[in-house]
């Protein structure tokens, strides 16, 4: 790590975090918590100038060949700075045609191009790719609810990744292999953990703090001339690997493949490669359907299908929980209290809230294989598979 990189990292972990926290406390004490204009202007000016000085030094140094980990970490730090400037409305994409953070944009664009990722901060810069120092990882603020949100998000991602990995290991074995039951049970354990951590978020995260002091850092912002959509906890490959290998979602469905295209560059190159590989595979659901007439009386079929169907149930349950509990309690509920004008950019991806909610609802219903004929739900196929199970 060069001296300039170390100085920037130290600033992000120190003064930057303190200034964001101080600003959050000021906003939170106001009656109109959403309106941040004209509040803490001296701190905002200091944050902008100190960050710019660190970044200008890095840009002059031409720091582009420090290896993947260092570069990716540096992109995350520049991204945290740009996201904070957006949150405090030091920048505002609808007000500008190009980012006023010229040096930060130049460094982010340069790093991201060589890394093959989006030029903004992505959720993994706070979750799976967030090195701790002396027990503390990088955050925007010192607020307990930010740590809580990141901790359970990260644990949820790890748990999805565990399930996805178990499914990927099934691929070379085939659905009739006697040991796939072990892998299916491992995948089930992963999804049970997802459900457990979602439950914790639901009960422990403070709605007001999350909505007013954490979520605003995840908004879209400009890098150079372009606006990049916000970060969200879903920007990892595991959940889509599960969708595709189980067979509840299909990349031939244009709205689902659009989601994949949109999230590709928000994932690390390693995650991108995992997702690409599984997109060319035949789903396990289709593999079971292929043999339903020829093998449904076999012992292996009965046992492996039973474990597979239990896994499908858990995937649907976790999806329902994300939508009906997390999105509903932490986004939909508090948004309903706001005047129409304050709703812009509440979400990370940018579309108006009702449009976003409808698309999340469709995803939930695909994962739950709901009985809907306006989306390519696998409801009928799953009913057929269930009917092929012998009564215990
Ligand atoms: C307080 C907790 C959470 C809230 C309020 C929340 C809310 C949202 C919202 C509103 C979106 C749409 C993107 C956008 O913001 O524009 C989204 C997307 C997504 N979130 Fe969450 N989320 C939470 C936690 C989690 C966790 C813990 C996970 C999994 C580890 C997760 C997985 C996803 C995924 C995969 C997507 C992309 C769409 C999809 O494939 O379903 N979220 N989330």
| Three-state secondary structure readout of 117-129 | CCCCCCHHHCCCC
Instruction: Average the pLDDT over 340-347 and give the result.
Output: 62
Residue 345 pLDDT > 60: no
> For residue 65, what pLDDT band results from cuts at 50, 70 and 90?
low
Residue 192 pLDDT > 80: yes
Q: 293 alpha carbon to ligand 1 midpoint, in Å?
A: 39
**Measuring CA to CA, how many Å separate 22 from each of 90, 137, 320?**
16, 19, 36
Q: In ligand 1, which atom is closest to the CA atom of 156?
A: 30
Q: What is the distance between the alpha carbons of residues 224 and 221, in angstroms, rounded to a whole number?
A: 10
When the pLDDT of each residue in the chain is averaged and rounded to a whole number, the result is 94
Q: What is the pLDDT of residue 220?
A: 94
Beta-strand pair 221-223/226-228: antiparallel
Q: In ligand 1, which atom is closest to the CA atom of 202?
A: 1
- pLDDT tens track for 280-294: 899 999 999 999 999
Alpha helices in 265-378 (DSSP H): 269-279, 284-290, 292-295, 299-321, 333-336, 353-367
Tell me if the domain spanning 3-125 has CATH number 1.20.58.600: yes
The token duo for 243 is 């969708």
Q: What is the distance between the alpha carbons of residues 201 and 209, in angstroms, rounded to a whole number?
A: 13
Q: What percent of the chain has pLDDT over 90?
A: 85
> For residue 350, what pLDDT band results from cuts at 50, 70 and 90?
low
**Hey, is 176 helix, strand or coil?**
coil
- pLDDT tens track for 108-119: 999 999 899 999
Say whether 144-387 and 3-125 share the same fold.
yes
Residue 69 pLDDT > 80: yes
Spatial contact of 88 and 45, defined as CB atoms under 8 Å apart: no
Q: What is the pLDDT of residue 162?
A: 98
Residue 392 pLDDT > 80: no
The token duo for 106 is 């130049």
Q: What is the pLDDT of residue 352?
A: 83
Q: What is the pLDDT of residue 336?
A: 86
Instruction: Average the pLDDT over 8-36 and give the result.
Output: 96
Q: 168 alpha carbon to ligand 1 midpoint, in Å?
A: 23
| Long-range Cβ pairs for the range 292-299 (8 Å, 24+) | 292/384, 292/385, 292/388, 295/176, 296/388, 298/176
Residue whose CA lies nearest to ligand 1 atom number 23: 326
CA angle at 250 for the pair 245 and 251, rounded to the nearest 5°: 110
The token duo for 100 is 């006023």
| CA-wise closest residue to 305 among 296, 314, 313, 318 | 296
* Close Cβ partners of 317 (under 8 Å, ≥ 6 residues apart): 191, 195
Q: What is the pLDDT of residue 197?
A: 98
Alpha helices in 171-298 (DSSP H): 180-204, 207-209, 238-246, 254-264, 269-279, 284-290, 292-295
> For residue 377, what pLDDT band results from cuts at 50, 70 and 90?
very high
Q: What is the pLDDT of residue 341?
A: 63
| Neighbour count for residue 51 (Cβ, 10 Å) | 27
**Measuring CA to CA, how many Å separate 387 from each of 66, 294, 307?**
57, 15, 15
Instruction: Average the pLDDT over 124-138 and give the result.
Output: 94
Q: What is the pLDDT of residue 135?
A: 96
Radius of gyration of the chain (CA): 23
Q: 233 alpha carbon to ligand 1 midpoint, in Å?
A: 5
Backbone dihedral angles phi then psi of residue 96, each to the nearest 5 degrees: -120, 160
Q: 199 alpha carbon to ligand 1 midpoint, in Å?
A: 14
Q: Which residue out of 232, 242, 251, 350 has the highest number of ligand 1 atoms within 8 Å of its CB and is therefore the one to mutate?
A: 232
Q: What is the distance between the alpha carbons of residues 120 and 104, in angstroms, rounded to a whole number?
A: 10
Q: In ligand 1, which atom is closest to the CA atom of 360?
A: 41
Q: Among 28-37, 144-153, 333-342, which stretch is predicted with the lowest mean pLDDT?
A: 333-342
Q: What is the pLDDT of residue 380?
A: 97
Q: Ligand 1 pocket by C-beta < 6 Å: which residues?
A: 153, 156-157, 160, 198, 201, 205, 232-234, 239, 322, 326-327, 330-331, 347-349, 356, 360, 363
What residue spans define the domains of the chain? 3-125, 144-387
Q: Which residue out of 234, 317, 351, 375 has the highest number of ligand 1 atoms within 8 Å of its CB and is therefore the one to mutate?
A: 234
Q: In ligand 1, which atom is closest to the CA atom of 205?
A: 1
Q: Which residue out of 233, 238, 271, 347 has the highest number of ligand 1 atoms within 8 Å of its CB and is therefore the one to mutate?
A: 233
Instruction: Average the pLDDT over 188-203 and give the result.
Output: 98
Residue 225 pLDDT > 90: yes
* Close Cβ partners of 378 (under 8 Å, ≥ 6 residues apart): 247, 248, 285, 366, 369
Q: What is the distance between the alpha carbons of residues 360 and 354, in angstroms, rounded to a whole number?
A: 10
- pLDDT tens track for 156-179: 999 999 999 999 999 999 999 999
> For residue 272, what pLDDT band results from cuts at 50, 70 and 90?
very high
The token duo for 263 is 């999230």
Q: 92 alpha carbon to ligand 1 midpoint, in Å?
A: 23
> For residue 70, what pLDDT band results from cuts at 50, 70 and 90?
confident
Q: What is the distance between the alpha carbons of residues 101 and 116, in angstroms, rounded to a whole number?
A: 22
Q: Indicate the fold that domain 144-387 takes in CATH.
A: Methane Monooxygenase Hydroxylase; Chain G, domain 1 (1.20.58)
Residue 19 pLDDT > 90: yes
């Amino acid at each position: 790590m060069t001296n300039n990189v170390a100085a920037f990292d130290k600033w992000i972990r120190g003064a930057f975090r303190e200034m964001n926290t101080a600003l959050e406390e000021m906003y939170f004490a106001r009656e109109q918590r959403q309106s941040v204009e004209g509040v803490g202007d001296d701190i905002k000016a200091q944050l902008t100038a100190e960050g710019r000085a660190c970044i200008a030094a890095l840009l002059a140094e031409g720091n582009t060949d420090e290896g993947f980990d260092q570069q990716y970490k540096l992109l995350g730090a520049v991204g945290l700075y740009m996201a904070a400037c957006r949150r405090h409305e030091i920048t505002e994409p609808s007000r500008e045609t190009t980012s006023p953070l010229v040096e930060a944009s130049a460094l982010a664009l340069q790093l991201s191009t060589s890394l093959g990722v989006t030029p903004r901060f992505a959720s993994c810069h706070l979750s799976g790719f967030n090195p701790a120092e002396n027990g503390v990882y990088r955050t925007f603020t010192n607020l307990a609810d930010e740590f809580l949100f990141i901790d359970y998000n990260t644990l949820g991602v790890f748990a999805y990744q565990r399930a996805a990995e178990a499914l990927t290991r099934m691929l070379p074995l085939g659905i009739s292999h006697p040991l796939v039951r072990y892998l299916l049970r491992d995948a089930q354990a992963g999804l049970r953990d997802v459900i457990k951590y979602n439950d914790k978020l639901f009960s422990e995260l403070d709605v007001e703090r999350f909505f007013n002091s954490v979520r605003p850092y995840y908004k879209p912002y400009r890098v150079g001339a372009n606006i990049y959509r916000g970060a969200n906890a879903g920007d990892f490959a595991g959940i889509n690997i599960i969708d595709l290998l189980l067979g509840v979602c299909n990349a031939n469905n244009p709205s689902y493949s659009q989601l994949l295209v949109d999230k590709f560059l928000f994932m690390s190159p390693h995650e991108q490669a995992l997702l690409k590989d599984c997109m060319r595979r035949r789903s396990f659901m289709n593999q079971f359907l292929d043999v339903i007439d020829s093998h449904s009386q076999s012992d292996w079929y009965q046992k492996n299908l039973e474990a597979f169907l239990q896994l499908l149930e858990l995937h649907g349950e976790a999806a329902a929980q994300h939508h009906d509990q997390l999105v509903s309690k932490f986004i939909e509920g508090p948004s309903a209290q706001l005047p129409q004008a304050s709703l812009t950019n509440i979400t990370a991806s940018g579309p108006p809230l009702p449009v976003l909610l409808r698309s999340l609802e469709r995803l939930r219903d695909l994962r739950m294989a709901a009985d809907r004929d306006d989306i390519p739900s696998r409801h009928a196929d799953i009913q057929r598979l269930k009917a092929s199970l012998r009564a215990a």
